[in-house]
Amino acid sequence: KTRIIIDCDTGIDDALAILYALRTPDVVVEGITTVFGNIDVAQAADNTLRLLALANPGYEIPVALGASQALVRELGGFSTHVHGENGIGGVQLPPSSQLPVLETAAEFIVRLADENPGEIILVTLGRLTNLSLALDLDPALTGKLKKVVAMGGTVFKPGNVTAVAEANLWGDPEAADRVFTSGLPVLLVGLDVTLKTLITTEHLELLRQFGKEENKALIDFMDESLKYYFNFYREANYLIGGAPLHDPLALMAALQPDLLTCRQMKVRVETRGEHTAGMVVADLRAQPKAGEFIEVAVDVDAERAVGVFLSAFM
């Protein structure tokens, strides 16, 4: 069994990633920690608890609240224009009776990794603030997590918040730089690959036709929340004919790494630039000097990845 913690800012694609993990056999979600980002941290936790109640995974998954702001930066605003006021496209899911745990996200991550050294994969789908705080609490965490798969950044493609920065890195560049230079075994899954794995209305039609009866409520949720997401991508003139499975691809990368082609790169994150904060500075020279080596996804078998995502519900 693959044991994971998901750290996320539960917006629409985070929600799809969570549902995908819950419906993939041989995966145990040990906990979900939330962070500010698409929406505020409490809303992210509330969305998570409601999703868990809807999906009914058959075991209790603790939810811990994390950072409500970046390590040093002022809050740059939430992404409600992409994910809706409540983060999940305005869909009203029934409330959950489960409460968040009393530990913070960072404490939760540190404790679980400490109790299960080398066992847990942490998949981050938002700002890296919680993980950075966890490193403060326990610097030895670098040797205790099996892997960190982080959705964020872009090396060869433009950014999605600024010309060069992707949202998760832009929202807390200091945290991202800290994580990437910490020695943690990081796999970075950024826009270079996530913009290739698109979900379309045709895919939703397939899910409606062939989705398992027990997943009907989840498919209805996806259908409704994705309307908002599709609209954003259409109006923002992305012209990509669908909406990117950013966060689900990071989850898939954790469970099925062979979907991706990766390259070792020394990476820093720009923290000071007036026009470049949050940019991935990858040292692509033959003899790179800056930073630590991490793995960066540079290509993906997009058709197969989208197929893997859809089949989890069929």
Contact criterion met (CB below 8 Å) for 121 and 252 = no
What's the rounded Cα separation, in Å, for the pair 139 and 309? 35
300, containing H or E segment? strand 292-300
If the CB atoms of residues 124 and 182 are measured against ligand BDR, the closer one turns out to be 124
If the CB atoms of residues 14 and 174 are measured against Ca ion, the closer one turns out to be 14
**Which span sits near ligand BDR by CB under 6 A: 8-16, 115-123, 212-220, 298-306?**
8-16
Strand, helix or coil for residue 161 = coil
**Which span sits near Ca ion by CB under 5 A: 40-48, 101-109, 187-195, 243-251?**
243-251
If the CB atoms of residues 40 and 103 are measured against ligand BDR, the closer one turns out to be 40
Q: How many CB atoms lie within 10 A of CB 144?
A: 19
Cβ of residue 190: shortest distance to ligand BDR, in angstroms?
8
- Residues 148-177 vs ligand BDR: string with x where CB under 6 A? ---x--------x-----xxx---------
Collect all residues with Cβ–Cβ distance below 8 Å to 133 and sequence separation of at least 6.
66, 67, 71, 104, 105, 106
DSSP type of residue 165: B
Under the binding rule (CB under 6 A), the answer on residue 46 touching ligand BDR is: no
- Among residues 9, 13, 14, 40, the one annotated as catalytic is 9
DSSP type of residue 164: S
Under the binding rule (CB under 5 A), the answer on residue 166 touching Ca ion is: no
Under the binding rule (CB under 5 A), the answer on residue 65 touching Ca ion is: no
Q: How many residues bind Ca ion (CB under 5 A)?
A: 5
**Which span sits near ligand BDR by CB under 6 A: 6-14, 228-236, 269-277, 290-298?**
6-14
What's the rounded Cα separation, in Å, for the pair 84 and 65? 21
- Among residues 13, 203, 246, 247, the one annotated as catalytic is 246
Q: Compute the radius of gyration of the chain from its Cα atoms.
A: 18
Q: Which residue is nearest to ligand BDR (CB)?
A: 167
Q: How many CB atoms lie within 10 A of CB 100?
A: 19
**Which span sits near ligand BDR by CB under 6 A: 9-17, 40-48, 66-74, 198-206?**
9-17
What's the rounded Cα separation, in Å, for the pair 79 and 97? 27
Q: What pairs with residue 28 in β-bridges?
A: 3
Cβ of residue 125: shortest distance to ligand BDR, in angstroms?
5
Q: What are phi and psi of 283, to 5 degrees?
A: -85, 95
Q: How many residues bind ligand BDR (CB under 6 A)?
A: 15
DSSP type of residue 128: S
Cβ of residue 168: shortest distance to ligand BDR, in angstroms?
5
Residue 283 appears among annotated catalytic residues: no
3-state helix, strand, coil in the chain (%, to 5): 40, 20, 40
Residue 136 appears among annotated catalytic residues: no
Number of helical (H) and strand (E) elements in the chain, helices listed first: 12, 11
Active site residues per annotation: 9, 246
| Contacts to ligand BDR by CB under 6 A | 11, 13-14, 38, 79, 82, 125-126, 151, 160, 166-168, 246-247
| Contacts to Ca ion by CB under 5 A | 9, 14, 125-126, 247
